[in-house]
Structure 1
Amino acid sequence: MLLSITWLTEFTPYTGSIDDLAHLLTMLGLEVEEIRHPFAHLDDFLVGRVTSCTPHPHADSLHLCSLDLGEGRIRDIVCGAPNIAADQNVAVAPVGATLPDGNMIQKVRIRGQESAGMILSEQEMGLGEDHSGIKLLPPGVAPGTALPQALSLDGAVFDLGITPNRADCLSVLGVAREVAAACGLPLHMPSISLQEDKQSASASLEVHIDDPKLCPLYQARVIEDISLGTSPDWLRWRLMGMGVRPINNIVDVTNYVMLELGQPLHAFDRSKVEGGKIRVARAKPEHSFQTLDGQDRTLTDEDLLIWDANRPIALAGVMGGANSEITESSTSLVLESAVFDPPTVRKTGRRLGLSSESAYRFERGVDQPGSSLALERAAQLISSLAGGRILQDRVRSEPRPWQPVQVPFRPQRSRDLLALDVDDSFCRQTLTRLGCQVQEEDSEWQVTPPSYRQDLEREVDLIEEVGRVYGMESIPATLPRINKPLHPGPAPEQGMAGYEFLTRVKAWAQGLGLTEVITYSFVGGKELDQLGLPEADRVLVHNPLSADQNTLRTVLTPGLLRSIRTNADQGAASCRLFEVARVFTSQPESETTVQEHTRLGLVLTGHRHPHTWPFEPDEADYQDLKGVVENLMYSFGLQRCRFVRQTGHCFLSPGVVIQQNGEEIGFLGRVQPHLAKAAHARSPIWLAELDMDRLADRYARQQTVYRPWPKFPPVHRDMTLIAGPDVGFEQIQDLIRSEAEKGHLEDVRLIDLYQPPEQLERNLTLRLRYRHPAKTLTDKEVDAEHNALGQALTTRLPLRFPST
């Protein structure tokens, strides 16, 4: 939201610097994202006094003017405007100034006469569309005054980041309340004094609301004998400074009051409201309605409309209808100020792709009692600027009046929660300045928040306000006391992986050279369809931001593939990524109907060593990713895994199930080629996902055993075996480990694998390590045990030694 500092000071007399105000608002939770200067392009322009104006000697349509620019500066300027005359104050662009269109003013000769500057029209200053003549300025301004100062233009405008819960700050008044409360300043409300006509509005117009939940309040003013025209300079320039394009005096007033007080308004042409009736009701299914932008919208029975006696005339809270628009021929209007159900407005706007400043405020909730003030303020301005007659009485229907709520508040609880020694008087003063009514009752107070603070619902909300006004940056940083057990693993947390365990997993992955990504929990149903994932497991989002985010992810794969695509599009073809995050599956029988699991996603694509010499073009493959998974188990002391080939995986080919103790803990494999192509990958994508909840449980329950360092040296022996395609290394490893229990074999590793061309058999070279805990083994003892192991392998498995 944009905030004019000049406008703000009209509500509260803040006198500090712009930078101090920006810091104050940011610390109050209203982050100043940018400081704009909307009229900075006028800084080089000056007020000039026309001391003489004579006809140009060589051109009938030109004038030779002499201008006083202050401080003794006299400039001769040739001007062709028809309304130029002596003794006028005008806007001047001196030599060296740059116009909004980018042209620089230079000293030139026009029909033989020197011209040192340019006298500006409204269009040439970028302040409007009028270029029929020069812009005449007030006569009392001294020559040489900077143009922004002479016109009282907004010098600085804040771009505020307003959080969704602070709808009250979507107006100048709302931010002024914050500044006044934080600085102890008074708040000045705009004065309103209406001159009502004797004719009653309720005699010719009535309001009916079908569903009070969708519209708790609808009220309107009828204004006759209006004259549509251009708004005065102050109003147009104030709107331009706030980023709003001026249209006409009626529309400009509604926009002005919305920015000032936060209440969206809408004006209907009174003659186009048929039957003297306004009805707030849902749309009919498949109803077509043309909005102000000229687009035909197909509605559903979930959309809310404003109807007259015969037809819809506006899309409630979103946009008006073309059939009731104010035009140049309009002579009377109905001015609407209403409160609409935020979810209904939000759904309609999202579904139709319509966004407006009005909808932005209605979606977050407007101040129901305050809507009357906005209506009266707008009616007064329209009457003064468009010459209208305000008919007596407001046409009003309020089937659900606003009811104040009482929130219990304990000062001691605020001290405990904030860890601050704030006394009762500070708490009382803070809440009172924020507009709350405080009723003190011993240790527990009853606080009634104002109608515009709909976010204050619980005691903790009030405590947050105390801390916010105290100053979040003033709260001292204190480390909490943490009691850690001697056991190295974290305690189980209700079946979910704990923070400490996940932090260690992330540190492990980063140490392995993987890059962490963080992706959205929301995915599109089409993404899950492309992966072939079942619909029964999905959790749909009731109010999605878009069709691409209408489902909670059931796997991490969609986000990882999007990350691959983003990197590939930026020229990073080789990626080693990981993500630790939650996935969600439907569980209707549970209390929340949703089950959450923490998962680790791993993905490799591209060169195995993309940034190291000799830059060999070998690509990452199954062995690389399998090694990463095995390294995870080894690093955390977990039992080794089994990798079982899986046929018919929905998006991996080949696919492998990762098992531990016969239980599936994840999957691994190559992403199917068409999915890798959609991710713009230039190499195969190898992906794995593991269940962190199960691994965290195993990690927490493992027993740590301390062994003394070995005192005697190991002895190594290599063994090469020839195996057919139906014998896996895992079978060989299992048999060796079972035989190791009988002797002194300590470890076995595969160090080489060779498969001759056009042959199915493979040569496997193993390195075995032998060690005795109480003495040094002799070569004779090792050879005997080594030969016995070889004999067992060739006898019990279809293996043989190479022929010599």
Structure 2
Amino acid sequence: MFVSYKWLQEYVDLSGVTASELADKITKSGIEVEGVEILNEGMKGLVVGHVLEREQHPNADKLNKCLVDVGEGEPVQIICGAPNVDKGQHVIVAKVGAVLPGNFKIKKAKLRGEESNGMICSLQELGVESKLVAKEFSEGIFVFPNEATVGDDALELLNRDDQILELGLTPNRADCLSMLGVAYEVAAILGKEVKLPKPEVSSISEKASEYISVTVDAPEDNPLYVAKVIKNVKVGPSPLWMQTRLMAAGVRPHNNVVDITNYILMEYGQPLHAFDYDRLGSKEIVVRRAHQGETITTLDDAKRTLTTDHLVITNGNEPVALAGVMGGANSEVETTTTTVLLESAYFVGAPIRKASKDHGLRSEASARYEKGVDPNRVRAAAERAAELLALYANGEVLEGSVEADALKVEPAVVSITLDKINGVLGTEISMDEVKNIFARLQFTTKVEGNEITVTVPTRRGDITIEEDLVEEVGRIYGYDYIPKTLPKGASTPGNLSDYQKKRRIVRRYLESAGLFQAVTYSLTNEGKASQFALDKREPVKLAMPMSEDRSVLRLSILPQLLEVVKYNSARQNDSIALYETGAVFLSTEQDKLPEEKEHLAAAITGLWYQHPWQGEKKAVDYYVLKGVLEGLLARLGLTGRVEFRQATVEGMHPGRTADLLLDKERIGFVGQIHPNVQKELDLKDTYVFELSLKALLEAEIAPLQYESIPRYPSITRDIALVVNKEVVAGQLSDIIAKAGGSLLKEVSVFDLYEGDRMEEGKKSIAFSLRYFDPEKTLTDEEVTKAHEKVLDALKDQAGAVLRG
């Protein structure tokens, strides 16, 4: 809600309180003021000028040479490129030496050989947003009404000498979606009175009931409908002061009839709608639910198909407005309109919200109906609008109003004890102070002993229970004056669980390894939900999804992580390394909440490192990601307990994928994305892993033990083994480790050969074995004895022989 400081002064005496001070007081009372905009900040030297002469620039087709009276004796010549500038106009002139927004200084200049002593301005050049400028001035300069006085301060006439408070309202404070609502709030804060408008409508002898009848077939949606008729209206521009107030409130001016309805909307918070009576097509208004498939063309020229959930205003036959949201094009007020049917109604929020959401029409009116308007302002707003239509559209107001009234609204009555107020706030406020606070809020009170009963006005629909009254007392009393106390009772210092500590270790390790953390959606579509899933189950579907692409809960993190890689690759980020820790959702029994398990996934592609000066580049491959994983397992104390075993996983490369087994239980996989999947996603070679983080972090590990630095040398033996091609290195490594006994400390692969000199169906794998005894220096005989056991085991269990 944008609140004009100057406009607010009409309702509350703000003398002695600046706009910034008022903003601070409002914020401290519970409504956040998000900012204060000074409309004329940094501007000076702008006056009203009168264009005496206009002729075509002799050297430019799109420029005009104007002689302008700026109230300083001799008129000045100004070159102007606006298409709508003309002789006789009163315009905004920035004189030489003037300053416009952005510290733009006006100087004497020559444009195509002609001298220009100033600038004729548009509203946009004064900092007004284009969407708030009336259409007739949207592509040119602004023209004042003829009554403007030459030489007067243009900023003052345009109400740019104002300050705008932007209120960040929570949904419960719909009462402050109007100037009067804000006035009540400010008056309570400052302890001042509210000066309400007092409409004085002079009506003619004709009665409104002779022109229109009102029937409401859906009183549960529209308990009160008020119609007034105004004849002999002359449609034209609204007064300048009204236009500028509307612009300050974020509303674009149109014409006097529409502007008056918008003005009342901002002043009272009560939406109104003006129909062209002669285009209505009948002498009756019927409010009902729409028929299924019925259509209406709204003011934005869009044809909309309605359902029985939507409330419409009709002429007895066809819809003329989508109630509370937008009027119909068939009854729109035009320049030729002479008789206006004015609608002021109380609509229930639910059907208005439904229509607004279904048709994507979010209007100032619908926003207020959704949150709730004051039912006791419906008639007052109609009278105020009729008064303004008579004043500024030369209208003649017909006697009386035509109503359909089934509204039964009683103000809320809430009782509370003084002890409870002080107990919750921790204060010692007296009953007199509490009464005074409610009096400032203009709540009626009745005191009986220690209990106060408050009758809440209908404008404050957010107050229904005792706690609401406590809040009102606290915020008006002043949160700054509530005593500060330390918490009572024993306190326990916060700490991380073992699981949380290990999760932090995982994240820090992966980031130190060069991976960036990603956070992706837990919602996906049915096609991607089961891709790469470690645990294949039926995906959990949402009852009310936002879209088909976000309709089920994920079973794997990788599909969304690959979308992130795809997104970055398409934007020329070729080398990408990402990881994510997040939940996957596994369905359980029917109508039961899914089981959540935390997973860890990563994806890398492109170059792992490069040294341009040395010309070195290292592309990522399976072993890079496997090395990252092995480092993580070592960091978690799980080295030796996790086995990498060749595997086939759907969507993964058949020869470059391995399962991870923790204590013989599968916890995940690592490998390259299948070439077909890479092509589908338009990716280069991409390597990924996904594993159960829950299984990793909950695995029990032995206490950390330290070993002394070796005092005795080790002995290394290298062997090259010839085996069948289907034998994997991991199998040979396990045989070597078991057969080597206590002296064998390390086994590592360092070569693989499958060349022409190798027998068909065979391959050579080379291992390096390190033997060591911490108690003594090993002899060749001891190492040979252990080594021969290894060779015998390899021959017996894998058919391996030493390569000649």
TM-score range, shorter chain: 0.7 to 0.9
TM superposition shift of 1:222: 1.9
The match for 2:707 is: 709
Partner Cα distance (2:667, 2:448) in 1:
57
Partner Cα distance (1:621, 1:448) in 2:
74
The match for 2:573 is: 572
**Structure 1 residues 314 and 744: alpha-carbon distance in aligned structure 2, compared to 1, 3 A threshold:** farther
Partner Cα distance (1:658, 1:570) in 2:
33
Partner Cα distance (2:580, 2:355) in 1:
35
**Structure 1 residues 110 and 718: alpha-carbon distance in aligned structure 2, compared to 1, 3 A threshold:** closer
**Structure 1 residues 397 and 144: alpha-carbon distance in aligned structure 2, compared to 1, 3 A threshold:** same
1:154–1:238 CA contact under 8 A, matched in 2: no
Which range is displaced more, 221-230 or 191-200?
191-200
Give the TM-score normalised by the residue count of structure 1. 0.76
Q: Per-residue displacement from partner, 1:189-214 (whole Å, max 9, x unpaired)?
A: 444455566766567422425383xx
The match for 2:263 is: 256
The amino acid that maps onto 2:251 is V
The amino acid that maps onto 1:515 is F
Q: Per-residue displacement from partner, 1:8-66 (whole Å, max 9, x unpaired)?
A: 4445455555555666667777666666565679743125699xx9999xxxx999776
1:784 lines up with 2:788 in the alignment: no
Q: How many residues align?
A: 762
The match for 2:618 is: 618
Partner Cα distance (2:678, 2:336) in 1:
61
**Structure 1 residues 64 and 471: alpha-carbon distance in aligned structure 2, compared to 1, 3 A threshold:** same
2:248 pairs with one of 241, 259, 266: 241
Q: Per-residue displacement from partner, 1:487-539 (whole Å, max 9, x unpaired)?
A: x853xxxxxxx655544433333233221223344446676599999995143
Partner Cα distance (1:706, 1:720) in 2:
33
Partner Cα distance (1:281, 1:244) in 2:
30
1:470 pairs with one of 451, 461, 479: 479
TM superposition shift of 1:293: 1.3
Which range is displaced more, 221-230 or 399-408?
399-408
2:213–2:402 CA contact under 8 A, matched in 1: no
Which range is displaced more, 260-269 or 193-202?
193-202
Partner Cα distance (1:124, 1:237) in 2:
15
Matched residue of 1:626: which SS? helix
TM superposition shift of 1:340: 4.0
Give the TM-score normalised by the residue count of structure 2. 0.76
**Structure 1 residues 388 and 718: alpha-carbon distance in aligned structure 2, compared to 1, 3 A threshold:** farther
Matched-pair identity in %:
29
1:44 lines up with 2:48 in the alignment: no
The match for 1:76 is: 75
Q: Per-residue displacement from partner, 1:598-649 (whole Å, max 9, x unpaired)?
A: 3333221211125786464433233333333343333223474345555462
The amino acid that maps onto 1:633 is L
Matched residue of 1:94: which SS? strand
Which range is displaced more, 27-36 or 702-711?
27-36
Partner Cα distance (1:178, 1:503) in 2:
48
The match for 1:689 is: 690
2:610–2:618 CA contact under 8 A, matched in 1: no
Instruction: Map 1:98-497; keep pairs closer than 5 Å.
Output: 106=108, 116-117=117-118, 129=136, 135=144, 146-153=153-160, 155-158=162-165, 162=169, 167-173=174-180, 187-194=194-201, 204-210=212-218, 212=220, 215=221, 217-225=223-231, 226-271=233-278, 272=280, 274=282, 276-285=284-293, 287-330=294-337, 331-342=339-350, 345-346=352-353, 348-364=355-371, 366=373, 374-386=381-393, 387-389=395-397, 391-393=399-401, 395-398=403-406, 401=409, 404=412, 470=479, 481-483=491-493, 489-490=497-498
The match for 2:728 is: 728
Q: Per-residue displacement from partner, 1:213-266 (whole Å, max 9, x unpaired)?
A: xx3644233222133222111111222233322111222123223334444433
Partner Cα distance (2:610, 2:482) in 1:
45
1:266–1:337 CA contact under 8 A, matched in 2: no
Partner Cα distance (2:420, 2:802) in 1:
81
The match for 1:4 is: 4
1:793 lines up with 2:794 in the alignment: yes
Partner Cα distance (1:257, 1:20) in 2:
27
Partner Cα distance (1:312, 1:782) in 2:
98
Partner Cα distance (1:692, 1:427) in 2:
57
Q: Per-residue displacement from partner, 1:702-747 (whole Å, max 9, x unpaired)?
A: 255243433644735344443444223332344345446x524445
Partner Cα distance (1:370, 1:718) in 2:
96
The match for 2:602 is: 602
Matched residue of 2:618: which SS? coil
Matched residue of 1:238: which SS? helix
TM superposition shift of 1:281: 0.9
**Structure 1 residues 134 and 7: alpha-carbon distance in aligned structure 2, compared to 1, 3 A threshold:** closer
The amino acid that maps onto 1:600 is L
**Structure 1 residues 154 and 605: alpha-carbon distance in aligned structure 2, compared to 1, 3 A threshold:** farther
TM superposition shift of 1:148: 0.8
TM superposition shift of 1:797: 2.0
Q: Per-residue displacement from partner, 1:405-424 (whole Å, max 9, x unpaired)?
A: 869899889988xxx85555
Gaps of 5+ in 1: 491-497
Partner Cα distance (2:671, 2:494) in 1:
39
2:174–2:371 CA contact under 8 A, matched in 1: yes
Matched residue of 1:44: which SS? strand
TM superposition shift of 1:273: 6.0
**Structure 1 residues 780 and 19: alpha-carbon distance in aligned structure 2, compared to 1, 3 A threshold:** farther
Gaps of 5+ in 2: 56-63, 79-84
Partner Cα distance (2:86, 2:507) in 1:
71
Which range is displaced more, 466-475 or 296-305?
466-475
1:222–1:334 CA contact under 8 A, matched in 2: yes
**Structure 1 residues 509 and 428: alpha-carbon distance in aligned structure 2, compared to 1, 3 A threshold:** farther
**Structure 1 residues 248 and 506: alpha-carbon distance in aligned structure 2, compared to 1, 3 A threshold:** same
1:727–1:798 CA contact under 8 A, matched in 2: no
2:539 pairs with one of 534, 537, 540: 537
1:318–1:345 CA contact under 8 A, matched in 2: yes
Aligned-residue Cα RMSD (Å) equals 5.3
The match for 1:513 is: 514
2:529–2:553 CA contact under 8 A, matched in 1: no
Q: Per-residue displacement from partner, 1:471-490 (whole Å, max 9, x unpaired)?
A: 699989999954468xx853
Partner Cα distance (1:195, 1:49) in 2:
37
**Structure 1 residues 257 and 677: alpha-carbon distance in aligned structure 2, compared to 1, 3 A threshold:** farther
TM superposition shift of 1:296: 1.8
Partner Cα distance (2:645, 2:607) in 1:
26
TM superposition shift of 1:284: 0.5
